[in-house]
Chains A and B, each alone.
Chain A
């Protein structure tokens, strides 16, 4: 069973609409949880990093939330743009293995249509 599971697997929305992506994890204890955006054929780009004690973190139109009790995180995208079409990856860093050890979710493929 994956330690980081994301839903939905894929999502299609219209330009200008909002959407929320989900991440459930079992990694415990963990140091931090990250959201990355990965364009096709490119490396991931960091959107947010939250430590275990943070509940929310924003980066422009992206807002991530974290509930450490339920082991859930979400990424909310506001007023979507065509350039938001990409894979969004939830990543958890466990305390064991060093601060840079990352466990990746499979990602949610988002397609924004005009």
Chain B
């Protein structure tokens, strides 16, 4: 099956700093990538949808200036959490959808962010 990787798998940063998380589709081209956030024992919440070469579409309540998303190629999307605060500590998961209208959405292994 298709593989999606994330890097790093976990990161600890100090309050006020920025953190970049990478999401890569390893063996297929992803026209669309999604970024989710998951708090403990809660469901995944969609943060934004990004299409290669265009601006990301953010869900209501998600600050686009705080969560910067770049989808520069068909295999890479990045999420930068700017000026991180402890309340941004969460599990961030990306997913990628292939081309040709496939229903399948492949999820990465997630990145655990802890802001101290």
* A residues lining the B interface (CB < 8 Å): 31-32, 36, 41-46, 49, 51, 89, 93, 98-102, 104-107
A42 touches B109 (CB 8 A): yes
Closest to B34 in A: A100
- Over the window 76-116 of chain B, the binary record of Cβ atoms lying under 8 Å from chain A Cβ atoms (1 yes, 0 no) is 00000000000000010101010001011111111010000
Stretch in contact with the other chain, from B14-22, B38-46, B61-69: B38-46
- Consensus secondary structure, chain A interface: loop
A99 with B110: in contact, given A104-B43, A105-B43, A106-B42 (CB under 8 Å)? no
Q: Nearest Cβ distance between residue A30 and chain B, in whole angstroms?
A: 12
Residues in B lying within 8 Å of A, measured CB to CB: 4, 6, 32, 34, 42-46, 49, 91, 93, 95, 97, 101, 103-110, 112
Residues of the A chain whose Cβ atoms lie less than 8 Å from the Cβ of B106? 46
Please measure, in the bound complex, the distance between the C-alpha atom of A100 and the C-alpha atom of B36, giving whole angstroms. 13
Instruction: For A107, list chain B residues within 8 Å (CB).
Output: 43
User: Within the complex, what minimum Cβ distance (angstroms) separates B12 from chain A?
Assistant: 15
B103 proximity list for chain A (CB < 8 A): 31-32, 49, 51, 93, 99
Whether A41 contacts B110 by the Cβ 8 Å rule is yes
- Docked Cα-Cα span, A43 to B32, in Å, equals 17
Task: From B4, B101, B103, B106, name the one whose CB has the most chain A CB atoms within 10 angstroms.
Answer: B103
**In the complex the two chains form, what is the Cα distance from A105 to B44 in whole Å?**
8
Evaluate whether A44 and B97 lie within 8 angstroms (CB atoms) in the complex, with A102-B46, A107-B43 already known.
Answer: no
